[in-house]
Amino acid sequence: MSFLQLENVRFCYPNGFEAVQDLSVDFRLGEAVAIIGQNGAGKTTAVKLMNGLLRPASGRVLIDGQETASLTTAQMAQHVGYVFQNPDDQIFQETIEKEIAFGPKKQKLPAAVVQERVHEAAEICGLMDVLKEHPYNLPYSKRKFITIAAVMTMDPEIVILDEPTAGQDRESTELLGKLIKILTDKNKTVITITHDMEFVVKEFQRVLVFAEKQLRKEGTPREIFWNEELLQFSALKQPYICQLAKALNFQGVMTMEELGKKVVG
Ligand SMILES: Nc1ncnc2c1ncn2[C@@H]1O[C@H](COP(=O)(O)OP(=O)(O)O)[C@@H](O)[C@H]1O
Ligand SMILES: [Mg+2]
């Protein structure tokens, strides 16, 4: 059964610009879902509609079967956590520890629980040694992990990561992959917007493609990245391994192992 549902959602910004048209999609608990698409396709707008930062002009958003129009954004955020595209839009405390502890403190959880959650999230996000530091002592790419930890401590069923791979080195991208696995193993749903197609192939089974204000298509990485018409329409590139396979005339290949088998025999 799906935990988060959007039904025919449409959204316009106050200046009248329509950014999302007729979006219907649903998410089950425990799945990792990637959202890809060109800049301006409406990805960020769509995920902000999922956690109540933005409200539909028409259509419905349901959490656990319940219509959310009457819920506050704070109530929705307890179920659907959103990690901002730009960490600096989210960070506002003077130490990393306070930033990460803010959510559960606001939920009035016992101090011991707050501390336990802060330590667990800081451990996973590689922040244990810097908890007392000012968030801005860390570079942009690491600040992103502060904001991820700050959402994790709220313990929402759904975690949305908006371009977490942007500006990350290989090691941090691997850490993101691990983090997604840890969350989905706990039956959390992780929805991740990314431009890193290799990351999508490695970490996700379900991919949503946004183009021109709409959810254009969804499928497995293989279904998406070998649909050339879709990629062309959405101005997306195949992952490098698919590009190489295509140049060698091996259709449908997704991994080095598969390519190796084709080449050898
Ligand atoms: N506050 C805003 N007011 C008006 N238009 C906006 C606003 N924020 C975003 N947009 C427009 O909405 C469209 C979708 O934006 P966005 O959801 O951020 O796309 P994406 O995350 O896919 O890059 C873009 O054309 C963008 O310029
Ligand atoms: Mg965006």
Condensed to tens digits (0 to 9), the pLDDT of residues 100-118 reads 999 999 999 999 999 999 9
| Residue 214 in tokens | 């709409």
Query: How many whole angstroms from 215 Cα to the centroid of ligand 2?
Result: 14
What's phi and psi for 84, nearest 5 deg?
-60, 150
Which of 15, 45, 47, 194 is the pocket-test mutation for ligand 1 (most atoms within 8 Å of CB)? Answer: 45
Nearest atom within ligand 1 for CA of residue 193? 21
Which pLDDT score is estimated for 264? 87
CA of 42 to the centre of ligand 1 (A): 6
Which one of 10, 11, 13, 162 would you pick to mutate in the ligand 1 pocket, going by the greatest count of ligand atoms within 8 A of its CB? 13
**Does the structure show a pLDDT above 80 at 200?**
yes
Q: Which ligand sits closest to the CA of 37?
A: 1
30 contacts: CB under 8 Å, gap ≥ 6? 184, 187, 188, 189
pLDDT digits (tens, 9 = 90+) for 215-264: 999 999 999 999 999 999 999 999 999 999 999 999 999 999 999 998 88
The finding on whether 15 has its CB within 6 A of some atom of ligand 1 is yes
pTM more than 0.85: yes
Of 234, 243, 241, the C-alpha closest to 258 is 241
- Rounded to the nearest whole angstrom, what is the distance from the C-alpha of residue 213 to the centroid of ligand 1? 9
d(CA 197, CA 173): 12
Check whether domain 2-79+156-237 has CATH 1.10.760.10, yes or no: no
Ligand 1 mean position, distance from CA 44 (Å): 7
Give the tens place of pLDDT for each residue, 29-73.
999 999 999 999 999 999 999 999 999 999 999 999 999 999 999
Strand partners, 6: 25, 61
